[in-house]
Amino acid sequence: MMGSRATTAWMVGVLLYAGAVQAQGSAPATPPKLPPGVSAALWKLSVPPGAEPTPEKVSLGEKLFLDPRLSADNTVSCSTCHEPAQGFVDGKALSTGIKGQQVTRNSPTVLNALFNASQFWDGRAGTLEDQAKLPILNPREMGMPSPEAVVAKVQAIPEYATAFKAVFGRDVNYDDLAAAIAAFERTQFSGNARFDAFITGDSKALNASEKRGWALFNGKARCNSCHAANIVSPLFSDQKFHNIGIAAHKQDFVQLARKAVGVVRLGDEKQIDELALQTEFSELGRFLVTKQENDIGTFKTPTLRNVGITGPYMHDGSLTTLWDVMDHYNKGGVPNPYLDGGMQRLGLTEPEIDDLVAFLFSLTDARYAKLNGQELARQQKRKGTRPERDTAVALGKKGNLGDLAPNPDLAVKNPAAVGVYGAETLVPGAAK
């Protein structure tokens, strides 16, 4: 039943999109073969006309992505912080660029980045092309002094001079270089996890603990408030920006924001990029992009796909395990003047946290199954070290962080029995 509804929903999405495109008088791009967790409609909506990843452009983009010669000292490539074999992350709390310089943000995964409404933790880039340009020029990342210097260096490499002529019909320029990297990144989609098998009808794809975790995710734990998934957005992210209190214990937000107002030039992507990765202003998050008070300390909701292998977690990599992440949310985050209104204590018990973590590990793509198992084992060994844990606050024995979310009787109605990302139906075995 679930599989039938899934197929129908995806077909409806594709037909609706195709109809809209036809009405505009243009032909839709043909998507590649997609995994179960990525709809054709979403792919078409996410790839701008003219930016379709051709094999030639993807091949060139992959070479550039892996090439440390794009950096000032030939030591750092895009893949240094986004290693394909590690789920396109580097496994570090904070990434390191040329000359061993550390930045102030954690490297998010490139997997499914093509579906992001904006790029980077603070959304300072609107497209993959814009995103590809900035790290090459950031003094702490790849350190090239200017786009012109990048072009001159790449053009002087015979294999690239030939490749750009073949792919773009002209000499190297910075826009084409970014377009090639973006084309490669547009092929890095992910949607073939055990969860995808479960949600499309295989009741045995998840074990009992993972099914309980899925129910908690949609119920008592309220994870779906920001990480809901549906046909149009299967990323487990609302693509919005929230202050969940991660940076609050480090900075006086009010004083820092006042200081930043006189410094930040709205629309200056290069300046904002450097402020975000090199200065104390990093913790202001989205505020650097908008200068809006309600954006102080807010960061984009990350995708939960492949979350088991893409730690450490949060914009600053300050949470080492998914148990740490759940402890942070369980106590309602860290209070501050700009804390998101949705943050409140959850009252989760230790077994419930275990079930939620088990579910989160089920969201990893099958191609990373071995790494996922290794990371689960590593994190389990750290369960005894829980710096974010505050059971008294989580259970309402101290503090005042609101009432608990509903804890429904699963025998009556299971909140995870909401069909293919939104149509109510019975998920086989979900209440077990």
Environment class of 404 (CB within 10 Å of its CB; exposed 0-12, middle 13-18, buried 19+): middle
Which is more confidently placed, 321 or 12?
321
What's the pLDDT tens digit per position in 388-401? 999 999 988 887 65
The predicted structure's pLDDT at residue 1: 32
H-helix or E-strand containing 299?
strand 299-300
| Start-to-end Cα distance in the chain | 18
Cα dihedral 141→372→375→98 (10° resolution): -10
Contact at 8 Å (CB) between 344 and 245?
Answer: no
- Within a 10 A sphere around the Cβ of 144, how many other Cβ atoms? 21
Which is more confidently placed, 167 or 43?
167
- The active-site residue out of 62, 141, 210, 352 is 141
Which is more confidently placed, 419 or 353?
353
Among 128, 121, 109, 119, smallest CA distance to 58 is for: 128
Among 278, 281, 290, smallest CA distance to 251 is for: 281
Banded model confidence at residue 376, pLDDT cuts 50, 70, 90: very high
Among 352, 353, 340, 351, smallest CA distance to 401 is for: 340
The predicted structure's pLDDT at residue 432: 42
The CATH number given to 47-186 is: 1.10.760.10
What's the pLDDT tens digit per position in 58-98? 999 999 999 999 999 999 999 999 999 999 999 999 999 99
Secondary structure class of 73 (helix, strand, coil): coil
The pTM of the full predicted model, rounded to 2 decimals, is 0.88
The predicted structure's pLDDT at residue 158: 98
Q: Which residues contact 371 (CB under 8 A, 6 or more apart)?
A: 85, 86, 87, 309, 364
Contact at 8 Å (CB) between 421 and 231?
Answer: yes
H-helix or E-strand containing 241?
strand 241-242
Residue 369 reports pLDDT greater than 60: yes
The predicted structure's pLDDT at residue 353: 98
Nearest-angstrom CA–CA distance, 346 and 363: 22
Tally the C-alpha atoms within 13 A of residue 408's C-alpha that lie toward its C-beta: 17
Helices (H), 127-268: 128-137, 147-155, 158-168, 174-185, 194-199, 208-218, 224-227, 253-261
Decide if 141 is catalytic: yes
Q: For 8-17, 82-91, 344-353, 357-366, which range has the lowest pLDDT when averaged over its residues?
A: 8-17
Give the number of residues written for the chain. Answer: 432
Nearest-angstrom CA–CA distance, 305 and 313: 13
The predicted structure's pLDDT at residue 278: 94
Which is more confidently placed, 4 or 92?
92
The CATH number given to 194-398 is: 1.10.760.10
Separation in Å, CA 239 to CA 26, 116, 414: 28, 7, 26
Token reading at 270: 């290069």
Secondary structure class of 389 (helix, strand, coil): coil
Give the residue range(s) of CATH 1.10.760.10 domains in the chain: 47-186, 194-398
Largest CA distance in the chain: 68
Nearest-angstrom CA–CA distance, 4 and 419: 10
The predicted structure's pLDDT at residue 137: 98
